Structures are given as structure tokens and as C-alpha cells.
Amino acid sequence: MCKKIGFIGCGNMGSAMVGGMIKSGNIDKNNVIIFDRSTEKTSSLKERYGINVGKSSVDIASASDIIILSVKPNIYKDVIEEIKGIIDENKIIVTIAAGQKITDVEKMFKKPVKIIRTMPNTPALVGEGMSALCKNQLATEQDLEEIKEIFECFGEAEVIKEDLIDAFIAVSGSSPAYVFMFIEALADGAVLEGMPRDKAYKMACQAVLGSAKMVMESNEHPAKLRDNVCSPGGTTIEAVAELESKGFKSAVISAMRKCAHKSRYMK
């Protein structure tokens, strides 16, 4: 892969993707160029990964074959207005924004442009991202495969239909936030029972990591794996009963409905 990859916006998600790509060893640092209106962010990424820094969004659009729009959804219009003159049918626009449908982005360009809509997540930074991708009509299957390969540098990637992207945000793009809350709650519970805080985080994280791995590798239903932990009259069923009475699962499901609804209707 020797195409030039440009990032416009290097905040939480852009920097996680840049970090994941470079750390993977599959993308040459000389093929990555970034721009953010905050020079502090670009300087720190340049220092860490040795990548190139552009002077403007226009710089990135000119120098890159693949342009990743990693600014907030409400900034898309301004950035596209700046770069659209430079974008031709040989370049691929990659979007990562919640709520920005392919047709919305096509309208902003007001001309035929190859667009791959994606939804990554921040665990990309540690090579454990989960991304979804879909394409517009002008982008080819080969373009989609090429972008998927780039996203696979920092985790798993799946091609999905665009109408599933709101569900995907709820289960993947946004879900690290709720998983971090769960880890924090597990650690707090352990601290309450006398465990030192640093050990509590390590134990909580390993329990989450190990449990996720078990679901992925065992092919068992999560409820069966839960039942295997619940000894009759034992400790776990006490915790499970309390979680059920507090509406643990329904709280998660209803949070995800809010998340998907926001993604579907946000402007």
C-alpha cells in the first residue's frame, strides 16, 4: 500500500486511527499526512509517529489519494466547502462522522465523488478497533476493499449496509464509553470492598477482556457462560439477581436505542 492517506482533524478518533495505523507496521509513516486546526495536536502526533503535517485542509486534499474527514459532524460542511475544488474521481473521501449519511455528504460536494462511509471506534489506538464500512455508487468494490484493508490495520472491519450504521454506532462506535463506565463501576465496587485502586482497575479490565474473549472463542451463548459462573446458592447469583432488579440489561438496551436514534436524526 503506497497510496497517500490524509487526515483532516486529529482529535480523539483521528489520532487513534493514526496511532493504530502506524503502530501496526503496515502503513509507512511517509504515506500519512495530517492537519488539524490545533497545531499542538499535530505536533504531538508528528513527534510520536514521524508522520507529515500539512498546513491546511487544502494541503491534505491535494497531497492525498485517500482523505479521511475526522472532524465533528457539524464541521463537515465547512471542510468540504474548502476542499471540494481539489477532489476528483481518483481520490476517495472517507467519512467517519456520526449522523452524516452518504447522500448528505454527496450533496455537500455537489459533484460526483467517491465516498466510503465508515464508523470506527477508539480502541483502534491499541489495534483492537471495530469498524463498519459502506460505499456510495461511484466508489468501486476495489475502493471499498482497499479502505477495509487500511481499517484492518487497527482491528476488525466489516462491510455493512448503510441502514445498519445507526445500530452499529450503538454497539460499537459509542460502546467503548459504556464499557469504560462498566470497568470504572467494577473497580469502584472492588475499592469499596477494600481493594487498592490500581489493582482494582487491572482486575476489572482483565475480567472484561477475558469474558469478551470467551464469548468470541467458545461459540457459547453469553447466557450459558453466565450460568456457568452462577453456582447454586453461591455468590454470583446474588450479584446477578441485584443487577436484574436494577434493570441492568434494559438500561443498556434503552441507552443504545437513544444512541441509534440520535445517530439517525442528528444534523
Ligand X SMILES: NC(=O)C1=CN([C@@H]2O[C@H](COP(=O)(O)OP(=O)(O)OC[C@H]3O[C@@H](n4cnc5c(N)ncnc54)[C@H](OP(=O)(O)O)[C@@H]3O)[C@@H](O)[C@H]2O)C=CC1
Of the residues 6, 173, 187, 190, which one makes contact with ligand A1CAB according to CB under 6 A: 173
Site for ligand A1CAB contains 169 (CB under 6 A): yes
Residue 26 — left, alpha, or beta (φ > 0 → left; ψ -120 to 50 → alpha)? alpha
Residue 36 binds which of ligand X, ligand A1CAB, none (CB < 5-8 A, kind-dependent): ligand X
> Residues marked as binding for NADP(+)?
8-13
Cβ at position 51, least distance to ligand A1CAB in Å: 23
Nearest Cα residue to 121 out of 87, 96, 84, 86:
96
Site for ligand A1CAB contains 123 (CB under 6 A): no
Site for ligand X contains 73 (CB under 6 A): yes
**Can you tell me the distance from the alpha carbon of 260 to that of 116, in angstroms, rounded to the nearest whole number?**
20
On the CB side of 118, CA atoms within 13 Å amount to 32
**Can you tell me the distance from the alpha carbon of 188 to that of 99, in angstroms, rounded to the nearest whole number?**
34
Question: Which residues 23-62 are close enough to bind ligand X by CB under 6 A?
Answer: 35-38, 41, 57
| Residue 223: its H or E element | helix 222-229
Segment lying near ligand A1CAB (by CB under 6 A), choices 14-22, 127-135, 167-175, 234-242: 167-175
Cβ at position 173, least distance to ligand A1CAB in Å: 4
